[in-house]
């Protein structure tokens, strides 16, 4: 088993080799074990994220990065689709130097593809994973509880199959 953190919860559930997902928050800031209301205030500098537990013998980290890059528009800065604020910034949290390096290579390749397609610069940051804080129960498997809920999957992602 291994860990990765990013968005695209619904897509992750349908992926062979993914065993579990958990909604949560990772800090670039200050508050220990924040609540959703704290994170939404913009004062904690936490990011809403998805922890993915997967079997690297069944799905590679690179394949999970492919899901991530198609899960949102990585050129939007402090937003994911209709959600706008600092907690919606695009970040990849690496649990090892190998993950960090792989994510940087994928980001560079995807930027080349986006440049050709006329998109803006990728704003996704790749940083070492800080402590993970689980989100409240009502956020866990949110889209399973709310099947018609908002999902900002970037269906128009250029070169999403490359």
pLDDT tens readout for residues 85-105: 778 788 899 999 999 999 999
Q: List b or e across 29-64, with b for residues whose CB sees 16 or more CB atoms inside 10 angstroms.
A: bebeebebeebeeeebebbbbbbbebeeeebebeeb
- How far is residue 71's CA from residue 4's CA, in Å, rounded to a whole number? 14
Domain boundaries, position 46? 2-140
Q: Are 75 and 119 in contact (CB under 8 A)?
A: yes
pLDDT tens readout for residues 31-73: 888 999 898 888 888 888 888 889 999 999 999 888 888 777 8
* 25-29, 36-40, 106-110, 119-123: the lowest-pLDDT one: 25-29
pTM: 0.79
129 within some domain: yes
162 within some domain: no
Q: Are 110 and 69 in contact (CB under 8 A)?
A: yes
Higher pLDDT, 88 or 24: 24
Mean pLDDT of 143-157: 59
- How far is residue 48's CA from residue 40's CA, in Å, rounded to a whole number? 9
145 within some domain: no
Question: Domain with 78 in it: what CATH number?
Answer: 3.30.1060.10
* 86-95, 109-118, 138-147: the lowest-pLDDT one: 138-147
Our count of domains for the chain comes to: 1
């Amino acid at each position: 088993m291994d860990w990765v953190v990013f968005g695209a919860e619904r897509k992750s559930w349908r992926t062979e080799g993914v065993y579990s997902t958990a909604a949560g928050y990772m800090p670039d800031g200050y508050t220990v074990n924040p609540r959703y209301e704290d994170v939404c205030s913009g004062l904690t500098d936490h990011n809403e994220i998805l922890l993915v537990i997967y079997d690297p013998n069944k799905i590679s980290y690179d394949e999970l990065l492919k899901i991530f890059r198609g899960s949102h528009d990585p050129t939007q800065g402090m937003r994911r689709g209709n959600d706008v604020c600092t907690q919606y910034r695009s970040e990849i949290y690496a649990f090892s130097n190998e993950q960090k390096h792989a994510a940087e290579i994928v980001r560079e390749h995807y930027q080349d593809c986006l440049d050709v397609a006329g998109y803006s610069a990728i704003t996704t940051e790749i940083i070492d994973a800080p402590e993970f804080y689980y989100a409240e129960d009502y956020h866990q498997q949110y889209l399973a509880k709310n099947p018609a809920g908002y999902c900002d999957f970037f269906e128009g992602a250029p070169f999403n199959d490359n």
